[in-house]
Amino acid sequence: MKELNSMRLEFPSRSANEGFARAAVAAFASQLDMTLTELGDVKTAVSEAVTNCIVHAYPDMIGTVHMRVRIVDPETLEIQVKDKGRGIEDVERAREPLFTTGGEDRSGMGFTIMESFMDEVKVRSKPGVGTAVTMRKKIEKRRPVR
């Protein structure tokens, strides 16, 4: 796929930065002429991915969250959220609804939510090395208004 535009962003894994990440991706993605529903889907998925980094990758320290956002063809947005935190022991189990390592106050629905709002979600992780979540969203073409 041909990359048409891209951006990179990195920030400390503080909960205050989750909204910043969501807004930054929304501003970049707006060049795709998304509907409000599509934009909301992207923002929700980004929130979940970033929150996973904050809560699970760096539970006892502040680390760095790395994001890469690309427009890979005229209708496809790709978002990668990556950390160098503790990693995931069992990715398949972590993707199961209601599974969490974050304690009683966590729902265990992060990956499920990402998968429901995005067209494709890939997770690569290695314990002690970190995790990369890559999500893709295909944007519907609009017919010109006459």
- Which is more confident, 90 or 85? 85
72 inside domain: yes
> What is the per-residue pLDDT for 54?
92
- Which is more confident, 140 or 54? 54
User: Annotated catalytic residue: which of 22, 38, 52, 78?
Assistant: 52
- Rounded to whole angstroms, the Cα distance separating 54 from 98 reads 18
Residue 23's pLDDT band (boundaries 50, 70, 90)?
Answer: very high
User: Annotated catalytic residue: which of 48, 70, 78, 86?
Assistant: 48
146 inside domain: no
- Rounded to whole angstroms, the Cα distance separating 102 from 117 reads 22
- Which is more confident, 111 or 97? 111
User: Annotated catalytic residue: which of 95, 106, 124, 136?
Assistant: 106
- Rounded to whole angstroms, the Cα distance separating 70 from 104 reads 35
Residue 145's pLDDT band (boundaries 50, 70, 90)?
Answer: low
Domain that holds residue 92: 5-138
- Tell me if residue 48 is catalytic: yes
- The token duo for 124 is 């690569």
143 inside domain: no
Does 8 have pLDDT greater than 90?
yes
- Rounded to whole angstroms, the Cα distance separating 142 from 94 reads 36
14 inside domain: yes
The angle at the Cα of 73, spanning 71 to 78, to the nearest 5 degrees, equals 40
How many domains does the chain fold into?
1
Q: At what angle do helices 110-117 and 36-52 cross, to 10 degrees?
A: 150
Task: State the residue for tokens 């996973």.
Answer: 52
CATH number (domain holding residue 27): 3.30.565.10
Q: What is the mean pLDDT of residues 80-104?
A: 75
State the average pLDDT for the chain. Answer: 88
- For 39-82, what is each residue's pLDDT tens digit? 999 999 999 999 999 988 998 999 999 999 999 988 999 999 99
Beta strands in 1-146 (DSSP E): 5-12, 64-73, 76-83, 120-126, 130-138
The model carries a pTM of 0.86
- Tell me if residue 5 is catalytic: no
Residue 141's pLDDT band (boundaries 50, 70, 90)?
Answer: confident
Query: For the ranges 15-19, 72-76, 87-91, 116-120, which has the lowest average pLDDT?
Result: 87-91
Residue 21's pLDDT band (boundaries 50, 70, 90)?
Answer: very high
